[in-house]
Amino acid sequence: MSASNKIKVGIVGGTGYTGVELLRMLTLHPHAEVVMATSRKDAGTRLDAMFQSLRGRCDLVFSDTATADLTQCDVVFFATPHGVAMADAPKLLAKGVKVIDLAADFRYRDVAQFEKTYKMTHSCPELIAQSAYGLVELNRDAIKKANLIGNPGCYPTTMQIGFMPLLKAGIVDAAHLIADCKTGISGGGKKEELGFLYCEASDNVEAYGVSGHRHHGETVARLQEFTSEKVGLLFTPHLTPMIRGMFSSLYARLTKPTTNDELQALFEAAYHGEQFIDVMPFGSYPETRSTRGSNMLRLALHRPQDGDMVLVLVAQDNVMKGAAGAAVQCMNVMFGFDEAAGLSTLPLSP
Amino acid sequence: MSASNKIKVGIVGGTGYTGVELLRMLTLHPHAEVVMATSRKDAGTRLDAMFQSLRGRCDLVFSDTATADLTQCDVVFFATPHGVAMADAPKLLAKGVKVIDLAADFRYRDVAQFEKTYKMTHSCPELIAQSAYGLVELNRDAIKKANLIGNPGCYPTTMQIGFMPLLKAGIVDAAHLIADCKTGISGGGKKEELGFLYCEASDNVEAYGVSGHRHHGETVARLQEFTSEKVGLLFTPHLTPMIRGMFSSLYARLTKPTTNDELQALFEAAYHGEQFIDVMPFGSYPETRSTRGSNMLRLALHRPQDGDMVLVLVAQDNVMKGAAGAAVQCMNVMFGFDEAAGLSTLPLSP
Amino acid sequence: MSASNKIKVGIVGGTGYTGVELLRMLTLHPHAEVVMATSRKDAGTRLDAMFQSLRGRCDLVFSDTATADLTQCDVVFFATPHGVAMADAPKLLAKGVKVIDLAADFRYRDVAQFEKTYKMTHSCPELIAQSAYGLVELNRDAIKKANLIGNPGCYPTTMQIGFMPLLKAGIVDAAHLIADCKTGISGGGKKEELGFLYCEASDNVEAYGVSGHRHHGETVARLQEFTSEKVGLLFTPHLTPMIRGMFSSLYARLTKPTTNDELQALFEAAYHGEQFIDVMPFGSYPETRSTRGSNMLRLALHRPQDGDMVLVLVAQDNVMKGAAGAAVQCMNVMFGFDEAAGLSTLPLSP
Amino acid sequence: MSASNKIKVGIVGGTGYTGVELLRMLTLHPHAEVVMATSRKDAGTRLDAMFQSLRGRCDLVFSDTATADLTQCDVVFFATPHGVAMADAPKLLAKGVKVIDLAADFRYRDVAQFEKTYKMTHSCPELIAQSAYGLVELNRDAIKKANLIGNPGCYPTTMQIGFMPLLKAGIVDAAHLIADCKTGISGGGKKEELGFLYCEASDNVEAYGVSGHRHHGETVARLQEFTSEKVGLLFTPHLTPMIRGMFSSLYARLTKPTTNDELQALFEAAYHGEQFIDVMPFGSYPETRSTRGSNMLRLALHRPQDGDMVLVLVAQDNVMKGAAGAAVQCMNVMFGFDEAAGLSTLPLSP
């Protein structure tokens, strides 16, 4: 712990959207201080020259990823592409630095599945066993004890939070789950790609990745832990014209007679006391904008035409609860801070 | 037919989004001319004073709905709220004027269902039998002979076009169809309601009407005509921040072994020769923006994880193929014009 | 001061955009607590039933404006239409309650000008003399001593901050100032009007109010205090498709030889130490999005073609620095709190 | 002229936004047919594989720019970066093929100014004298006789149309013109640049290029032709979150007593009979959305506070009247077609 009585935080890859979001939150954190942000391409550049929003609030200069001494940090966030964290994690962990990877390197327990999905060899598979999956509400105890976190993907968070109570209760057909998900454009990251241009992405809705989005395998593997039945998931991601926001419409067929009250009670019990999960009244309509800029995930249950299907509507801010917010929440749990430290800002409305 | 050799067209309720869209197309129509547009509230106002887009292209003044003599028209479009067309249709039909209603008055064969859904008494149930449902691709012959058209709702068009081939072929579980639909904001019409404000509707996705959207009954009734099995439909409409555009993700479980090639062939055969239905290659991704301002509906089939579910992605412009364009298409069929007359504009891109 | 050691805050008219923004900030305020929010129409409704963003963060219920006892508060914000605050201010002030009006009732020193502009009689003109204009950076001392604040309009804030140093220095033609201003749609408030609909306001830019926007007189009166020359201002407001954000491009003709360095030094001196005014390097480009959700106003100077014109570019969040943020800043000054208390959130990026 | 009795059109660089817009219009053109579109990078690709909007309406495949025989065309449009047209124009003109360049190669009469502005050597300065500047309303006679057109930039079109009548009448201070212009994002072209990403460009307004936008010199040179006074122009371009649309607020100081009626009469006379210039009533508010997808430019005059400044508000679709529409209009004039051929589509509303 630093002289200032705050833990020292490093951010690798601070030039993307999750990087600047970590900075936005950590600047307000009572127990943590960002002391270093690194970049391969932008070393020497002030962070506020890249992000005008940081002017007056951040004096950091990007360090060179290759030479920066991250071992002086208490914890390092990797807001990088897949494959970066696993290269650096072993030596950081060996020096007692905790590591939180916002990419996929430590999301999978099954190395082979990771390697197949991301088409790269895992350089430190031995660390996977000691890593924890960073979805606090579903894995708090493991996170408390872990020094290495694989932060969940944005889509998987909504699908796990939404399907878990149903699967654990054993009341739905686990083999035929459907997740029709809609993301804001920031979900794709700060990439100069054609499809993310304003003139291509605005005033448009389209599906993508139906044949094999990388979050499919991550989600199925995690959902499988909630049930002994074989999980089958049809996952359709869509791009929608929002900066931030993710809305998942989850469909499951009930296999046992269940009343709406029982369904509602199931979810309220599952997330009782969770300050970042808002189980709304049965039949409500969560709105992505009501989560904008906050770490809150909202969900509501529906029973269309009083039939045998249950519909779970889930809304979150993909950059916050879907990425950087969840990572800070993990940090808080790992260090024994108030779980909401640095995460207290309310959603921006309108 | 008028002296100008063009049919005379009247538009009742020309102040809404479908009204101005009818004007946009009909101004370019080689065989039709709008001679009258009526409004209850805005009688005496020039149309181009309300719609700046019409300046220089339209000299009409709104007539008073109460006093306008629509019997001089060859055809009258009702771009009005539900319940208006049924009040005027009998006398217009009696005078030989064809009627195309863009609202719901003549969408239902079952009067009771209409009355229950729209909470109003139908004033001319006897006309329903002679009316035709205005989805040309599914009902062309009836439309040819009809003088009274109930134009389909925007959502129902996508669901019928997308599910019909599967239901007719008898290869899916008709009792568990799922339609996860996303509409642009214009789908709600030009109404001064809170939810349609820019600051409420932009940068946001949310579901609505799950417990009973009025298009649910319309769609189920029509889908039922394609199969002897009992149709069950779970329909989840969503609001997305687009001006125009509708994207429907349709899910059905295959009940018979079917290859992807067979699925594709089924759809290509069903819509062979249709100039406003674009059956894209298997596994494609239709985009709503590729239909912006045009009468084209695009669809593509997917078979996620090569499982037993088929996913049909459908995109259209809700104001065009979902409303005004479909209505003009009906008019063309009714009068024996080229079906694409007035509908030849290409989508606006970008 | 309340038992909790926090001042008690009341909000009259908490149902609009500035109302919910006050709540967003004050919920995080270390020295203040909102104890009451009133509404004429929505008394009895929970605030978080109206604003989903407040769920889990606010347990208040709207009190009835007519019967609520606001005298228990230490300070009351009026986030109401013009004319409301002046009706209640006298009795609140008499009871020792401070009043901050976000509308125009106390923005004018000249009652006649107020009455002409807002077409209503001022009910307590005698209070105007003791009120202070709530633009902290230009009026801090008066605000410190005042119990009654007229919070500035959003446009006037940008114009005063941008023109003040030039006028005070006496180096520009005060009679021919031009302000070409662009606002996000929330600037018009949460009103169910046609022009604010998503389908009308998005993908569009237009000017309005050129012949006499109400902020024109307010601004001219304030600018006149910085110079003995007669101020002439051409003010062109524009609507642009943003939720929040205001961008003012201010033009003035230099009447005395001045170098760019001198211009820059003038502004840096004028706003030295101001934590909510970011005087960017000469020739920079402020972006409205870099102020989103924050109380920061950014400005930069330009000297096009090295001619005799100076261009001041000013960006702010119209809901924050342009309204609710400025009001909280006033409260902080009035009560001797840290001026940034409750205003420490960083801009949302992206 | 081709066997089909339509002229043969070639498009070089059909992969950008102006390229696809040319195709959108020319597909509907009664006297022209696109027979060839070329691309350096995408030769062999079907156009409708790149632009889904063209599916069903265009069977062309991109030819290789290097080998395509454009001499079989009657006219070739260059929708390319600056510098491409001048390389090919000489040989095409020699073969009797007309050339319309949408880039800057032939916009300048002064070669030195072109070379300085675009930092490239002009390869065929001898052709400039025989080229015509393609702003039909200001240069129709020259265009009629020309075989080589330099199509104007989008901003310059609005500034020339808006300032011309004032300058020709000699009633304004030509040395201090101000143009505060706002463009939609497509104005930057289909470029994979950071600033054009959805997450960077939406919900934001910012200025750019104040110190020297390339359209500044083009505009000043053209404006200078309307007056013997020395023209001075302060031009501030802004990015606003629209796909299409351009809004220019033009400010000029009156140097001679002029009534509002006289001003209005001046503009009505200047553009009498022009079908693509809509001189709106004095004091009106043109909206960019009322020009969306059309070739119409709308303008209105204002006299703020009845002072000595005149404000001209100009709205157009930057992709149409600001680029591709203007180019087709030129083609129509060059070939003696109806000037509106292929340009008859109405604006998309909403």
Q: Which pLDDT does position D14 carry in this prediction?
A: 86
User: Which DSSP state fits C262?
Assistant: H
Task: Return the percentage of chain D with pLDDT > 90, whole number.
Answer: 96
Beta strand C32-39 pairing with C63-64: parallel
Compute the Cα dihedral for B255, B257, B259, B265 and give only its sign.
negative
Residue D2: is its pLDDT beyond 60? no
Q: Which pLDDT does position A3 carry in this prediction?
A: 53
Residue D43: is its pLDDT beyond 70? yes
Q: Which domains does chain A have, with CATH numbers?
A: 7-130 (3.40.50.720), 154-319 (3.30.360.10)
List alpha helices for C291-342, DSSP H: 325-335
Q: Does C59 touch chain B (CB under 8 A)?
A: no
- For the stretch C226-262, pLDDT in tens is 999 999 999 999 999 999 999 999 999 999 999 999 9
- The mean per-residue pLDDT over the stretch B194-223 comes to 96
pLDDT: is B1 or C123 the higher one?
Answer: C123
User: Which DSSP state fits C347?
Assistant: P
- The mean per-residue pLDDT over the stretch B132-150 comes to 98
- The mean per-residue pLDDT over the stretch B315-328 comes to 98
Secondary structure (H, E, C), chain D: CCCCCCEEEEEECCCCHHHHHHHHHHCCCCCEEEEEEEECCCCCCEHHHHCHHHCCCCCCECEECCCCCHHHCCEEEECCCCCCHHHHHHHHHHCCCEEEECCCCCCCCCHHHHHHHHCCCCCCHHHHHHCEECCHHHHHHHHHHCCEEECCCHHHHHHHHHHHHHHHHCCECHHHEEEEEEECHHHHCCCCCHHHEHHHHCCCCEECCCCCCHHHHHHHHHHHCCCCCCCCEEEEEEECCCCCCEEEEEEEEECCCCCHHHHHHHHHHHCCCCCCEEECCCCCCCEHHHHCCCCCEEEEEECHHHCCEEEEEEEECCCHHHHHHHHHHHHHHHHCCCCCCCCCCCCCCC
- For the stretch A190-200, pLDDT in tens is 999 999 999 99
Residue D293: is its pLDDT beyond 90? yes
Burial class (CB in 10 A: 0-12, 13-18, 19+), D282: middle
**Nearest-by-Cβ selection for A204 from B211, B234, B242:** B242
Q: Does B46 touch chain D (CB under 8 A)?
A: no
Q: What angle do helix axes B214-224 and B154-169 make, rounded to 10 degrees?
A: 30
Q: Which pLDDT does position B3 carry in this prediction?
A: 53
Instruction: Determine contact, residues C184/C316, Cβ cutoff 8 Å.
Output: no
User: Which DSSP state fits B343?
Assistant: -
Instruction: Determine contact, residues A149/A100, Cβ cutoff 8 Å.
Output: yes
Compute the Cα dihedral for B71, B73, B74, B75 and give only its sign.
negative
Residue C102's SS3 state is: coil
- Determine the Cα–Cα distance for residues D96 and D72; give it in Å rounded to an integer: 10
Q: Which pLDDT does position A268 carry in this prediction?
A: 98
Q: Which pLDDT does position A228 carry in this prediction?
A: 98
And the tokens for B194?
A: 């809170």
Residue A9's SS3 state is: strand
- For the stretch A8-31, pLDDT in tens is 999 999 899 999 999 999 999 999
Q: Which pLDDT does position B212 carry in this prediction?
A: 85
Check A58, A73, A124, A154 and give the catalytic one.
Answer: A154
Q: Does B41 touch chain C (CB under 8 A)?
A: no
- The mean per-residue pLDDT over the stretch D70-97 comes to 97
DSSP A223-272: HHTT-SSPP-EEEEEEE-S-SS-EEEEEEEEB-S---HHHHHHHHHHHTT
And the tokens for D292?
A: 């969306």
Task: Return the percentage of chain C with pLDDT > 90, whole number.
Answer: 96
Give B100's pLDDT tier (boundaries 50, 70, 90). Answer: very high
Q: Which pLDDT does position D341 carry in this prediction?
A: 98
Compute the Cα dihedral for D189, D190, D192, D196 and give only its sign.
positive
Check D58, D124, D154, D330 and give the catalytic one.
Answer: D154
Q: Which pLDDT does position C212 carry in this prediction?
A: 84
Q: In this structure, which long-range contacts are made by residues C332-338, counting pairs with CB atoms below 8 Å and at least 24 apart in sequence?
A: C333/C136, C333/C140, C333/C143, C333/C144, C334/C75, C334/C98, C334/C100, C334/C143, C334/C144, C334/C146, C334/C147, C334/C149, C335/C7, C335/C31, C335/C32, C335/C74, C335/C75, C336/C144, C337/C31, C337/C32
Residue D51: is its pLDDT beyond 60? yes
Choosing among D176, D200, D203, D292, which should be mutated to test the C contact, i.e. which has the most C CBs within 10 A? D203
Q: What angle do helix axes C154-169 and C260-270 make, rounded to 10 degrees?
A: 120
One-letter amino acid identity for A55?
A: R
And the tokens for B94?
A: 């009696």
Q: Which pLDDT does position A212 carry in this prediction?
A: 84
And the tokens for A241?
A: 């014209």
Minimum mean pLDDT range among C283-297, D2-16, D200-214: D2-16
DSSP C36-89: EEEESS-TT-BHHHH-GGGTTT---BPEETTT--GGGSSEEEE-S-TTSHHHHH
Q: How many CB pairs under 8 A join B and C?
A: 54
Give D211's pLDDT tier (boundaries 50, 70, 90). Answer: confident
- Determine the Cα–Cα distance for residues A202 and D241; give it in Å rounded to an integer: 9
| Residues written for chain D | 350
- For the stretch C301-339, pLDDT in tens is 999 989 999 999 999 999 999 999 999 999 999 999 999
Task: Return the percentage of chain A with pLDDT > 90, whole number.
Answer: 96
Residue B239: is its pLDDT beyond 70? yes
Task: Return the percentage of chain A with pLDDT > 70, whole number.
Answer: 99
Q: What is the mean pLDDT of chain B?
A: 96
Q: Which residues of D31-65 are buried (b: 16+ CB within 10 A; e: fewer)?
A: bbbbbbbbbeebeeeebbebbbbbbebbebbbbeb
Check B58, B124, B154, B181 and give the catalytic one.
Answer: B154
Beta strand D177-183 pairing with D246-253: antiparallel
Q: Which pLDDT does position A2 carry in this prediction?
A: 47
Instruction: Determine contact, residues D343/D319, Cβ cutoff 8 Å.
Output: no
Inter-chain residue contact B348 with D293, CB threshold 8 Å? yes
Q: Which pLDDT does position A247 carry in this prediction?
A: 98
Residue B162's SS3 state is: helix
Give C211's pLDDT tier (boundaries 50, 70, 90). Answer: confident
Residue A275: is its pLDDT beyond 60? yes
Provide the chain D residues 189-248 that lie in CB contact (below 8 A) with chain C: 199-200, 203-208, 210-212, 216, 232, 234-236, 238, 240-245, 247
pLDDT: is A40 or B205 the higher one?
Answer: B205
Q: What are phi and psi of A283, to 5 degrees?
A: 85, 10
Q: Does B17 touch chain C (CB under 8 A)?
A: yes
